[in-house]
């Protein structure tokens, strides 16, 4: 069986798959060890092979104050989209097989968003995700992820570069997307971790992404990146740990405009520290930061000549358990990226996401999240910039071991300053500024169909008793 899992991982790492732009409608609070409907169950023997087949469903309805209409003709930037009611259905079937050290997971998802607005048809999306890991020996771990996605929304946020722990993808849900885009994308990610000692390990990873737009102002493109990082524990006691880390990352993207191809290449070197302290048996504080520099090589929109520049880069992380089941987390990153689907210009951006949440009682939990992102074009001749704001407040009440009531509020806002775009593509295809308030409520269901059902990081619910 081990050789079979290794073969599957190698195949899926070499295949293309995709990063999901429109994630589920449900946010998870920062994880804490708390018994309750969403607190999680006891993890079984990690060395025992097990199978799990689980069905998830989110059925929500609500109201959006500002729906972005779609159409074949460009819309004036002064067009104010109509308000209206929306209905959302999100269905997921997930299969998990293996042990903690060696396992594979396959997840198929389909989702639909319907609008009470003339001329806007229901938008349907699907994605397939395959991920897993295996151990070559006791100190070497191989991980692989593959995604295939049909995304009916033009996602716009600027939070993609944040770490997975920030859960920024969950904030890029359809409440924060425009209906003017439809794309297919594939992404493959592979990672290899080598543990040299208990205090030191090295990780190398590679990913490839390809996106093709079928509808809307998007630009087809593909990108690949590789990264290698090393982390070393400096001090470790019973209550606190201090470690340093350093990394190098290379990225190479190619975006296809109507009349030309634009390359964007960047190299980033940074280093920093992580500090972790156990404040009590159930409370913990984690601080982390890195600082470095990025070198960007692209082509100027104005002069059509090669453009190169350096810019500072860095990250910051905070995690704090402050009361029983309640915790707060914050993630920040400064780097280089593009506004996918809107322009091929490279932006030097800053993005931060703040999340907090906890249990009111064993049946009820609250989650709050907010984010801010801004960016400026690296080419001073284009003088472009953008700002985005996102926010979510959510309450989840357990009705049974397999069902919960959900109510959430989403806020989304962006401003795009005038900047040079390729000939034939202008900001008339989307509003130059956008502001949306959305309220949604409904049911979230999770049903174990086969095997044991246990909570793992990334699951939206747990199986604790009332």
Name the residue among 309, 313, 358 with its Cα closest to residue 332: 313
Three-state SS for the chain is CHHHHHHHHHHHHHCCCCCCCCCCCCCCCCCCCCCCCCCCCCCCCCCCCEEEEEEEEEEEEEEECCCCCCCCCCCCCCCCCCCEEEEEEEEEEEEEEECCCCEEEEEEEEEEEEECCCCCCCEEEEEEEEEEEEEEECCEEEEEEEEEEEECCEECCCCCCCCHHHCHHHHCCHHHEECCCEEEEEEEEEEEEEEEECCEEEEEEEEEEEEEEEECCCCEEEEEEEEEEEEEEEEECCCEEEEEEEEEEEEEEEEECCCCEEEEEEEEEEEEEEEEEECCCCCEEEEEEEEEEEEEEEECCCCCCEEEEEEEEEEEEEEEEEECCEEEEEEEEEEEECCCCCCCCCEEEEEEEEEEEEEEECCEEEEEEEEEEEEEECCCCCCCEEEEEEEEEEEEEEEECCEEEEEEEEEEEEEECCCCCCCCCCHHHCCCEEEEEEEEEEEEEEEEEEECCCCCCCCCCCCCCC
Half-sphere exposure of 422 (CA within 13 A, CB side): 19
- pLDDT at residue 226 tops 90: yes
Q: Give percent above pLDDT 90 in the chain.
A: 41
pLDDT digits (tens, 9 = 90+) for 108-154: 999 998 887 776 778 889 999 999 999 988 899 999 999 999 988 87
Mean pLDDT, all residues of the chain: 79
Segment 285-306 shows an average pLDDT of: 91
pLDDT digits (tens, 9 = 90+) for 76-103: 444 445 788 889 999 999 999 998 889 9
Q: What is the rounded distance in angstroms from the CA atom of residue 462 to the CA atom of residue 454?
A: 7
Q: What is the rounded distance in angstroms from the CA atom of residue 449 to the CA atom of residue 451?
A: 7
Q: What is the rounded distance in angstroms from the CA atom of residue 462 to the CA atom of residue 458?
A: 11
The structure's pTM equals: 0.80
Residue 446, token pair as written in the block? 């999770």
Confidence grade of residue 48 (pLDDT, cut at 50, 70, 90): confident
Half-sphere exposure of 372 (CA within 13 A, CB side): 1
Instruction: Name the residue with higher pLDDT: 263 or 80.
Output: 263
Per-residue confidence (pLDDT) for residue 165, from 0 to 100: 53
């Amino acid at each position: 069986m081990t050789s079979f899992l290794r073969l599957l991982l190698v195949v899926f790492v070499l295949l293309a798959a995709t990063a999901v732009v429109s994630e589920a409608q449900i946010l998870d609070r920062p994880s804490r060890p708390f018994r309750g409907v969403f607190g999680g169950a006891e993890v079984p023997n990690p060395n025992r092979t097990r199978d799990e087949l689980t069905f998830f469903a989110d059925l929500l309805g609500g109201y959006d104050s500002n729906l972005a209409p779609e159409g074949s003709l460009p819309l004036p930037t002064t067009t104010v989209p109509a308000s209206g009611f929306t209905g959302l259905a999100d269905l997921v079937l997930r299969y998990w097989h293996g042990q903690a050290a060696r396992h594979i997971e396959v997840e198929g998802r389909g989702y639909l968003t319907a609008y009470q607005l003339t001329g806007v048809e229901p938008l349907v999306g699907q994605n397939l995700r395959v991920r897993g890991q295996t151990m070559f020996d006791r100190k070497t771990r191989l991980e692989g992820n593959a995604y295939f996605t049909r995304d009916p929304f033009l996602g716009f946020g600027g939070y993609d570069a944040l770490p997975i722990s920030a859960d920024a993808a969950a904030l890029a849900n359809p409440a924060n997307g425009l209906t003017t885009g439809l794309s297919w994308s594939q992404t493959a990610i592979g990672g290899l971790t080598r543990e040299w000692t208990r205090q030191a390990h090295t990780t190398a990873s590679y990913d490839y992404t390809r996106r093709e737009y079928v509808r809307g102002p998007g630009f087809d493109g593909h990108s690949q990146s590789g990264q290698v990082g090393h982390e070393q524990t400096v001090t470790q006691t019973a209550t606190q740990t201090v470690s340093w880390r350093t990394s190098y990352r290379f990225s190479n993207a190619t975006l296809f405009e109507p009349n030309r191809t634009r390359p964007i290449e960047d190299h980033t070197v940074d280093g920093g520290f992580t500090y972790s302290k156990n404040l009590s048996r159930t409370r913990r504080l984690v601080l982390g930061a890195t600082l470095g520099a990025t070198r960007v090589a692209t082509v100027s929109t104005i002069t059509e000549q090669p453009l190169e520049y350096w810019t500072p880069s860095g990250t910051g992380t905070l995690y704090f358990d402050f009361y029983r089941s309640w915790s707060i987390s914050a993630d920040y990153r400064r780097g280089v990226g593009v506004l996918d689907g809107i322009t091929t210009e490279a932006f030097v951006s800053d993005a931060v996401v703040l999340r907090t949440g906890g249990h009111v009682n064993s049946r009820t939990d609250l989650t709050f999240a907010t984010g801010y992102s801004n960016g400026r074009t690296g080419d001073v001749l284009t003088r472009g910039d953008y700002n985005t704001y996102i926010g979510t407040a959510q309450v989840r009440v357990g009705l049974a071991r397999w069902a919960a009531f959900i109510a959430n509020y989403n806020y989304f806002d962006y401003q795009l300053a005038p900047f040079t775009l390729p000939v034939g593509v202008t900001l008339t295809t989307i509003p130059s500024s956008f502001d949306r308030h959305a309220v949604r409520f409904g049911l979230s269901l999770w049903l174990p169909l086969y095997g044991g059902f246990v909570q793992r990081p990334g699951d939206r619910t747990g199986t604790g008793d009332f």
